[in-house]
């Protein structure tokens, strides 16, 4: 299987660990990735400014992939939601004609045939292979779904009930780790409120981190770069502000899976994680020695 | 949200709800029955009284156009779609909030944070700048270079008129 890796805006600059681990884990699983240099912003922030501009900017990426005749794999859940929502809208001929008129000056046209899939969804579909290849990880892991990985459900063709999501827990179990239940699991990271009112989004993050800490998880796992910015990059700052210590390592799903597949910390970009994963790796190392 | 006990009927715009309903994403506003399922499950409302989606819908339907467009509370929606999944009337609140924001933009009340995001995306083709520095760092980490600028989005802005608002 081959996909065009859609980097979006945040991943290639702020969360390179996600990109490194995704590329290496996909390679290990025999899934090939190509890079299309004309991909740009997915259009997500523009939906708040002007609907047609959003659709045109999203459809531009879909057109780039369509011309290369390759399905798209996203890493960012907001990119995934934005592209899928636009894809659904572009199935309507009137909308498509209107939006394609905006793409004409840049010599692009979208006919509505591109397939878009989240990297986590691809991993879910590859779960049998992951199970076969995995060395079990002796870890307690809290799954953070975020929002656009499961919602709005109409763009995800009822893959899983967003009120009772399970795919990440299944993947955590597939690598021999234990999924940890915690209070208010589906809570949003608050990332999109960050530019409007920092104190509101940081409070949302603080609540989540304290629920995860209370549940006794060794790490949290997530599937969106902006959630990572909130929980990993901002964790120290929230600790300082709230006077509360969390010390919760934040792993991207491919980092967790990669550890079970025997990839090295460098191949998973683990040294780029802000909250130290040293203790976590030591726990794993000790566990393996005992076996 | 500031509470005002007495509303002056002369300040209401009865057309506002139809203006919203004709905007993509706003089509379902008149279906709202004010049950507050949205507000009770809203993760933003749970930590801040600045945002109350049920209240915003009521204000919009009533015609409090100036307040809804000029105060910044519609920009607090995180677009998490929690309410959207639960709304018994399929009002699609995050899309509705985006529709109201689109009208605010047309009326000259774009939130500065969004104007800045729109500007960056138009000028760079992406939200965060990629320069030679970032590309060198990427190469050191074994990652392929990323195209530094994409001019196509600015051209799209020219077609839709957004360039005049954010660039």
Task: Please tell me the predicted confidence (pLDDT) of residue A199.
Answer: 96
- pLDDT tens per residue, range A235-277: 999 999 999 999 999 999 999 999 999 999 999 999 999 999 9
In this model, does residue A287 exceed pLDDT 90?
no
Name the residue facing B105 among A8, A50, A195 (closest C-beta). A50
Residue B140 domain-assigned?
yes
Q: B38 and B69 share a domain? A: yes
Q: How many helices (H) and strands (E) does chain B have?
A: 10, 0
Q: A11 and A75 share a domain? A: yes
CATH number (domain holding residue A16) = 1.20.1050.140
Q: B155 and B100 share a domain? A: no
Give the chain B residue nearest A82 (alpha carbons): B79
Q: A273 and A168 share a domain? A: yes
Q: A94 and A133 share a domain? A: no
Q: A203 and A95 share a domain? A: no
- pLDDT tens per residue, range A67-118: 999 999 999 999 999 999 999 999 999 999 999 999 999 999 999 999 999 9
Q: B15 and B93 share a domain? A: yes
Q: B39 and B67 share a domain? A: yes
Q: Identify whether the C-beta of residue B39 lies closer than 8 Å to the C-beta of residue B33.
A: no
- A30 sits in which H/E element: none
- pLDDT tens per residue, range A161-216: 999 999 999 999 999 999 999 999 999 999 999 999 999 999 999 999 999 999 99
Q: B50 and B31 share a domain? A: yes
Q: B102 and B121 share a domain? A: no
Name the band, by pLDDT with cuts 50, 70 and 90, for residue A290. very low
Rounded to two decimals, the ipTM of the complex is 0.96
Cβ separation A188–B78 shorter than 8 A? yes
Cβ separation B143–A207 shorter than 8 A? no
Angle (CA) A53-A54-A55 rounded to 5° is 90
Identify all chain B residues contacting A48, using CB atoms and an 8 Å cutoff.
75, 98, 101-102, 105, 114
% of chain B at pLDDT higher than 90: 93
Q: A166 and A276 share a domain? A: yes
Q: B138 and B153 share a domain? A: yes
Residue A183 domain-assigned?
yes
Q: A33 and A136 share a domain? A: no
In this model, does residue A289 exceed pLDDT 60?
no
**Chain A touched by B72 (CB under 8 Å):** yes
Cβ separation A10–B128 shorter than 8 A? yes
Residue A214 domain-assigned?
yes
Distance from CA of B133 to the nearest CA of A (A): 10
Residue A224 domain-assigned?
yes
Residue A49 domain-assigned?
yes
CATH number (domain holding residue A161) = 3.40.50.11810
Residue A77 domain-assigned?
yes
DSSP state of B20: H
**Chain B touched by A46 (CB under 8 Å):** yes
DSSP state of A192: G
- Tell me the residue range of the domain where A279 lies: 128-290
Q: A102 and A205 share a domain? A: no
Cβ separation B43–A187 shorter than 8 A? yes
Cβ separation B147–A41 shorter than 8 A? no
Name the residue facing A49 among B76, B92, B105 (closest C-beta). B105
Looking at A66, A90, A118, the residue that finishes a domain is A118
Global confidence as pTM: 0.97
Q: A97 and A136 share a domain? A: no
Looking at B106, B131, B153, the residue that finishes a domain is B106
Task: Please tell me the predicted confidence (pLDDT) of residue A194.
Answer: 96
Task: List, as ranges, residues 180-219 from A with C-beta within 8 Å of B.
Answer: 186-188, 190-193, 195-197, 200-201, 203-204, 207
Helical residues (DSSP H) of chain A, grouped into ranges: 11-14, 16-28, 51-68, 77-89, 93-103, 119-125, 127-133, 167-174, 198-214, 225-228, 235-242, 253-260, 278-290
Residue B41 has phi, psi (to 5 degrees) of -105, 5
Q: B22 and B62 share a domain? A: yes
Q: B161 and B131 share a domain? A: yes
> What tokens appear for A22 in the block?
């995704």
In this model, does residue B3 exceed pLDDT 80?
no
Cβ separation B156–A106 shorter than 8 A? yes
Residue B118 domain-assigned?
yes
Q: B59 and B20 share a domain? A: yes
SS3 A57: helix
Residue B160's CB is within 10 A of a number of other CB atoms, namely 21
Task: Please tell me the predicted confidence (pLDDT) of residue B6.
Answer: 87
Looking at A70, A97, A118, the residue that finishes a domain is A118
Of B50, B43, B95, the C-alpha closest to B73 is B50
Residue A190 domain-assigned?
yes
Q: A144 and A278 share a domain? A: yes
Instruction: Tell me the angle at which helices A235-242 and A198-214 cross, rounded to the nearest 10 degrees.
Output: 90
Cβ separation A186–B82 shorter than 8 A? yes
Task: Please tell me the predicted confidence (pLDDT) of residue B5.
Answer: 74
CATH number (domain holding residue B73) = 1.10.1060.10
Contacts of B79 (CB under 8 A, 6+ apart): A47, A147, A192, B94, B97, B98
Name the residue facing A20 among B47, B105, B141 (closest C-beta). B141
Residue A123 domain-assigned?
no
Residue B85 domain-assigned?
yes
Q: A68 and A171 share a domain? A: no
Number of domains in chain B: 2
- pLDDT tens per residue, range A144-167: 999 999 999 999 988 999 999 999
Q: B151 and B80 share a domain? A: no
Identify all chain B residues contacting A147, using CB atoms and an 8 Å cutoff.
78-82
Task: Please tell me the predicted confidence (pLDDT) of residue A291.
Answer: 42
Q: B36 and B65 share a domain? A: yes
Looking at B69, B91, B106, the residue that finishes a domain is B106
- Tell me the residue range of the domain where B129 lies: 112-166
Looking at A51, A84, A118, the residue that finishes a domain is A118
Q: A63 and A152 share a domain? A: no
Q: A132 and A93 share a domain? A: no
Number of domains in chain A: 2
């Amino acid at each position: 299987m081959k996909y065009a890796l859609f980097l979006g805006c945040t991943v290639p600059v702020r969360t390179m660990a996600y990109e490194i681990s995704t590329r290496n884990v996909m390679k290990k699983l025999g899934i090939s990735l190509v890079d299309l240099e004309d991909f740009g912003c997915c259009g997500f922030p523009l939906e708040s400014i002007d609907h047609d501009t959003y659709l045109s900017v999203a459809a531009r990426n879909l057109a780039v992939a369509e011309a290369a005749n390759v399905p798209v794999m996203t890493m960012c859940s907001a990119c995934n939601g934005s592209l899928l929502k636009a894809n659904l809208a572009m199935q309507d001929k009137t909308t498509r004609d209107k939006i394609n008129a905006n793409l004409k000056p840049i010599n692009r046209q979208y006919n509505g045939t591109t397939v878009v899939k989240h990297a986590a969804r691809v991993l879910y579909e590859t779960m049998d292979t992951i199970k076969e290849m995995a060395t079990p990880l002796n870890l307690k892991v809290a799954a953070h779904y975020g929002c656009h990985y499961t919602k709005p459900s109409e763009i995800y063709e009822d893959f899983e009930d967003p009120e009772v999501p399970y795919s990440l827990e299944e993947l955590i179990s597939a690598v021999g780790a234990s999924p940890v239940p915690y209070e208010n699991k589906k809570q949003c990271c608050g990332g999109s409120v960050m530019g409007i009112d920092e104190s509101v989004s940081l409070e949302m993050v603080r609540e989540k981190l304290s629920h995860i800490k209370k549940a006794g998880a060794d790490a949290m796992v997530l599937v969106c770069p902006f959630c990572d910015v909130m929980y990993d990059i901002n964790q120290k700052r929230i600790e300082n502000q709230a006077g509360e210590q969390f010390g919760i390592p934040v792993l991207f799903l491919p980092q967790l899976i990669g550890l079970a597949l025997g990839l090295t910390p460098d191949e998973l970009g683990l040294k780029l994680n802000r909250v130290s994963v040293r203790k976590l790796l030591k726990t794993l190392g000790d566990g393996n020695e005992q076996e | 949200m500031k509470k005002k006990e007495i509303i002056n009927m002369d300040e209401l715009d009865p057309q506002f709800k139809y203006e919203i309903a004709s905007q993509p994403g706003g089509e379902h506003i008149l279906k709202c029955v004010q049950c507050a399922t949205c507000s009770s499950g809203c993760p933003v409302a749970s930590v801040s009284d600045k945002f109350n989606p049920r209240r915003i819908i009521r204000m919009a339907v009533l015609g409090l156009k100036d307040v809804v467009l000029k105060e910044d509370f519609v920009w607090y929606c995180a677009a998490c779609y929690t309410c959207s999944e639960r709304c018994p009337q399929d009002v699609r609140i995050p899309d509705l909030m985006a529709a109201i924001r689109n009208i605010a933009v047309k009326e000259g009340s774009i939130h500065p944070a969004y104007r800045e995001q729109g500007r960056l995306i138009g000028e760079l083709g992406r939200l965060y700048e990629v320069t030679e520095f970032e590309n060198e760092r990427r190469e050191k980490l074994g990652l392929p270079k990323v195209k530094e600028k994409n001019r196509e989005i600015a051209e799209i802005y020219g077609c839709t008129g957004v360039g005049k608002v954010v660039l």
